[in-house]
Amino acid sequence: MSQGDRGGGTPPTGHGGRAARWLARLTLLAAAGVVVVLALALGSGGLLIVGAGLLGLVVCAAGLWWFLAHRGLVRLLGALVAVAAPAAVVLLFTFAGLWLSAVFLAVCWGATLACAKAALRGSTPQRSRRTAAAARPRRPVLLMNPRSGGGKVTRFGLVGRAEELGARVVLLDPTAPTDVAELARAAVAGGADLLGVAGGDGTQALVAAVAAAHDLPFLVVPAGTRNHFALDLGLDRADPSRSLAALTDGEELRVDLGDVAGRPFVNTVSFGVYADVVQHPEYRDAKAGTALDLMPDLLASEGATRLDARVDGAALDSRQALLVSNNPYVSPDALSGTGRRPRLDTGELGVLGIRVESAAQAADLAVRGTQSAGLAALTARRVEVSAAPHEIPVAVDGEALRMPTPVVCTLRPGALRVLVPRDRPGVVVPAPPVDWRRLVRLALGRTGGGTATRIRVRPRLRAPAASAAAPPPAPGRPGSRTTLASASPP
């Protein structure tokens, strides 16, 4: 198994534990140095450096809010403010002769945070992902979308490579509506003992649900545009052909599968602002322009839809955006598409809720981050989203849909058997949020009672086998190819 596949479990010992303790001590020493430098520089502008820096951040965040939430002259003013605020801070430091002190403090603080994250990562409980030996499938069937990811199927020769390894390939016709779930059920009825997809996350989820229903292994070939599911499985997104090695030398992971109103998802379900934006056909060709044109109506308009959610027993009211994920992301970076999920088998949904309705709230979010009232980060087993309209836009793994309210999101723990190659990049576990109390305990050698981020792992349940009948499949054999001319729409 890849060395990168790590998660929560037993604390590290030996050299790793000692290195984490020394890094924690170095962190506290660097933080003390920053405080000393500020204290010594108070007479020559130390307080001005901190105050001007915070004020610049607040004004920049307010300008960004005006830019996003308004049109016309207010939008132009917001853009100017967002750019001018940091520039003004730099000019102030330069003309006041404080730029060298400001740079020194910024470098020291950056080094402090880098050491802190390294120490916390080194002391985070580690546990290898649970894998099981996998027998070589005898009748694997792979569905491939030739247009997905800008033509990765052709560019990486995935069809020929899969056929060499004994798989039957079904090429989807990108010009006709295709029910990929029905094709997957037909393959199962024809004797397939593995289902796989070379395509995007939306297609992956639909076929994964069929594989889970029949308790068959599922192969992820990251031939889509982003493939966040493949990233968090530790697969190589730069070379999707490497995933095909699992057909002859693979191992199996049990992971969770999300469900939103009866539809499966492997990554996220978005409600609110993003879901509204992706509904518009012009978004595909002009993402930035379409989003900027719609943002004022979605953020600040009195008629904008607001979302309420029941997250297990907790209530989230009047949110502009909600993101529900198959397992929690380690930070709100999920909103920008750069977040990571260190595990996919915790049995819990991740929930991020955002409410920012003024420049002051935007500034508060910029300064306080996850401590701001405008951002809620929770975990749950069940999320129920409601709104005033009877039907709301929903983006499921990036696919634009509409669903009647209330919309319920749940998780099927351990429902999906994923076949992965033994040789793969693996999952790099991101550093947990900086926790100063934990750093002090670590520096003093007190590892007990820490406040490390823990992910509860509940017993994983096997999904019940489906009994739905499927139409007879097209004739095929291992190592053969079927070109699909058309299929009935979903």
Token digits of residue 306: 């607001």
Is residue 141 assigned to a domain? yes
Is residue 449 assigned to a domain? no
- Say if residue 397 is in the same domain as residue 479: no
Contact 15, 436 (CB under 8 A): no
**What does the pLDDT average to over 205-226?**
94
User: Does residue 291 have a pLDDT over 60?
Assistant: yes
Contacts of 148 (CB under 8 A, 6+ apart): 198, 199, 200, 203, 223, 224, 225
Which of the four pLDDT bands, split at 50, 70 and 90, describes residue 36?
A: confident
- Say if residue 295 is in the same domain as residue 382: yes
For the segment 221-242, what is each residue's pLDDT rounded down to a tens digit?
999 888 899 999 999 999 999 9
Token digits of residue 398: 């990036």
- Say if residue 225 is in the same domain as residue 161: yes
- Say if residue 319 is in the same domain as residue 421: no
Contact 348, 274 (CB under 8 A): no
For the segment 360-372, what is each residue's pLDDT rounded down to a tens digit?
888 888 777 767 7
**Any idea what the CATH number is for the domain that residue 323 is in?**
2.60.200.40
Top mean pLDDT of 39-43, 330-334, 442-446 is at: 442-446
The C-alpha atoms of residue 395 and residue 112 are separated, in whole angstroms, by 39
pLDDT score, position 293: 80
Contact 392, 271 (CB under 8 A): yes
Token digits of residue 88: 């003004």
- Say if residue 24 is in the same domain as residue 79: yes
Dihedral angle over CA of 430, 436, 437, 440, nearest 10 = 100
**What CA–CA distances, in Å, run from 253 to 226, 326, 454, 455?**
21, 15, 21, 18
Top mean pLDDT of 18-22, 247-251, 302-306 is at: 247-251
What's the pTM? 0.78
Instruction: Name beta bridge partners: 322.
Output: 271, 353
- Say if residue 139 is in the same domain as residue 125: no
**What CA–CA distances, in Å, run from 117 to 23, 125, 160?**
9, 14, 44
- Say if residue 98 is in the same domain as residue 190: no
pLDDT score, position 285: 67
Is residue 452 assigned to a domain? no
Is residue 458 assigned to a domain? no
- Among 203, 202, 319, which Cα is nearest to 271's? 319
pLDDT score, position 449: 42
For the segment 315-357, what is each residue's pLDDT rounded down to a tens digit?
998 898 999 999 998 765 555 556 788 889 999 999 999 888 8
Is residue 255 assigned to a domain? yes
Q: Which residue has the higher pLDDT, 347 or 50?
A: 347
The C-alpha atoms of residue 414 and residue 129 are separated, in whole angstroms, by 13
Please, what is the average pLDDT of the chain? 82
* Residue range(s) defining the domain that contains residue 361: 268-411
The C-alpha atoms of residue 56 and residue 81 are separated, in whole angstroms, by 10
- Residue environment code for 224-263, b if the CB has 16+ CB neighbours within 10 A, otherwise e: bebbbbbbbbbbbbeebbbbbbbbeebbbbbbbbbbbbeb
- Say if residue 236 is in the same domain as residue 293: no
Contacts of 395 (CB under 8 A, 6+ apart): 268, 269, 270, 271, 274, 275, 278, 401
Is residue 221 assigned to a domain? yes
Dihedral angle over CA of 413, 417, 423, 424, nearest 10 = -50
The C-alpha atoms of residue 158 and residue 370 are separated, in whole angstroms, by 42
Angle at 18 between CA 10 and CA 344, to 5 degrees: 30
Q: How many domains are there within the chain?
A: 3
Q: What percent of the chain has pLDDT over 90?
A: 42
Concatenating the DSSP letter of every residue in 172-184 gives --TTS---HHHHH
User: Does residue 208 have a pLDDT over 90?
Assistant: yes
- Say if residue 221 is in the same domain as residue 234: yes
- Say if residue 92 is in the same domain as residue 53: yes
Which of the four pLDDT bands, split at 50, 70 and 90, describes residue 125?
A: low
- Say if residue 296 is in the same domain as residue 381: yes
**Any idea what the CATH number is for the domain that residue 232 is in?**
3.40.50.10330
- Say if residue 136 is in the same domain as residue 246: yes
- Among 137, 200, 199, which Cα is nearest to 168's? 137
